[in-house]
Amino acid sequence: MDNTIIRKYDIRGVVGKDLQINDGYEIGRKFGQTVTKVCIGYDSRIDSSSIEKELIKGLISSGANIIRVGMCSSPMLYATTQIMKADLGIIITASHNPSEYNGFKFFSSKKVFSDQEIKKIISSPIKNNTKTGSLININIYSEYIHILKSALKNNVTQKLKIAWDCGNSPASGIIRYIEKILPGHTHIITNNSIDGEFPLHDPDPIEEKNLAQLIDIVKKDKCDLGIALDGDGDRVRLIDNKGSVVSNDHLFMIFAREVLEEYPKSKVIASIKMSMKVYNFISKLGGQVITCATGHSLVKKKMIEEEAKFAGELSGHFFFPELGFDDGLYSAVKAVDILLKKNQSLSQIIENLPKLYITHEVKIVVKDEKKFRIIELIKKTLEQQNIVFSELDGIKVTDNDNKGWWLLRVSNTQNCITARCEGNTLEDFELAKRVLFYYIDKARSLN
């Protein structure tokens, strides 16, 4: 197996190029040696079912007992792993990546799988095994629908008109039960056919070009809310009633405020790319924000270590204490519940939050084998210029007066370097942006 497809917290690559169908067999053989009971599932991508067959062969040959969920979202697989008290969950997915990608995510209630842990398991020798594993199929839909329904606490008479973009992902299989989860509301659903080619747009709601269709529906049908899910259903993006994209910095504030009402003075975890205004907002509510490197597994690990009550990152992964994993649909139901509780439009709620002077996440496409080297070269440049920076996740430079910051970091899932900057005021923002784009140009020249 090509070890370059082992990323910071999962396995991901282009099928037929650096990730092969039969890699599933090796992963099954190696991971099967470490567990007794494992839950497996796969997403809607073209090659996922073929990879699943190889994964099953490998797991059974290693003596593992398999609970097969079939096509499902990542949160459905995570929920199954918890419900069945399995040692491990493996889902075949490339999350939000384009259709030519695929990969594997690993889930356990006991530990978080880092790249070092994955490499250690993959490089382990094959042990002699005389036991053959078993396979059972399970339908988890009713249990998972019950989990989603539990996020709805406010039983009010107000009814909303909600637009959904399922991104042709396995979430489409759940949305057909949406009346059971959110009864009485009007639901307008698009891209709800399961299609691994993702014909209308890539399943990445962070890229705003992929939200154009949903925005049009919200405006045309005068919806109260638009909800976009990613390719494996663990991330969410919202559109407000005016058709504006809601920043996940703001959504983090909205969710965190609700959590802090229930758990006063608790800790929350925010990824390094979040707005600095999140910190002031949480502090005023009596909470404490702890910064974490980007990556859903890293955020989850930090949440466990710090015994935090909420965590989230810019890409739309949100973690609530009652779940133990990230779930885009659960987060969406939570957002609906807050709207019903507040009896305000989403745009009104946003207007009452701190105003942000911040860029979207900028992606600089670079050669995969060069992206880490580019960051190291820019670090050396900053050191020569006596500029202080954080190395928690790439490079983050904060103004001495805390008026702004800029960030460059390597993407764990794509062949790019991501960048973002923020200012406390519009003037501070323009200055931070000029500095950031100087270093973006430098990164491009190094590529």
CB 37 within 8 A of CB 443: no
For 260-268, the CB contacts below 8 A with 24+ separation are 260/285, 260/286, 260/287, 260/309, 260/310, 262/309, 263/309, 263/321, 266/308, 266/309, 266/310, 267/306, 267/307, 267/308, 267/309, 268/308, 268/309, 268/310, 268/311, 268/312
The size of the chain, in residues, is 447
- 95 catalytic per annotation: yes
List, in sequence order, every residue forming a beta bridge with 406; answer none if it has no partner. 397, 421
Residue spans of alpha helices (H) in 93-232: 115-122, 141-149, 171-175, 178-181, 212-220
Residue 412 CB: number of other CB atoms within 10 A? 19
316: phi > 0 → left, psi -120 to 50 → alpha, else beta; which? left
What are 51's two structure tokens? Answer: 């990879």
What are 45's two structure tokens? Answer: 């991508």
Query: DSSP labels for 284-326?
Result: HTT-EEEEE-SSHHHHHHHHHHHT-SEEE-TTS-EE-TTTSSB
What are 344's two structure tokens? Answer: 């305000």
Cα-flanking dihedrals φ and ψ of residue 71, to 5°? -70, 130
**Strands 236-239 and 225-229: what pairing?**
antiparallel
At a CB cut-off of 8 Å and minimum separation 6, what does 389 contact? 379, 382, 395, 396, 397
Residue 122 CB: number of other CB atoms within 10 A? 17
Query: DSSP labels for 56-95?
Result: HHHHHHTTPEEEEEEE--HHHHHHHHHHTT-SEEEEE--T
Q: What is the dihedral of CA 213, 12, 367, 1, to 10 degrees?
A: -150
* Rounded CA separation 40/30 (Å): 15
- Which position among 62, 73, 74, 95 bears the catalytic label? 95
DSSP assignment letter at 19: B
For residue 56, how far is the Cα from the chain centroid? 26
What are 351's two structure tokens? Answer: 């207007």
Active site residues: 95
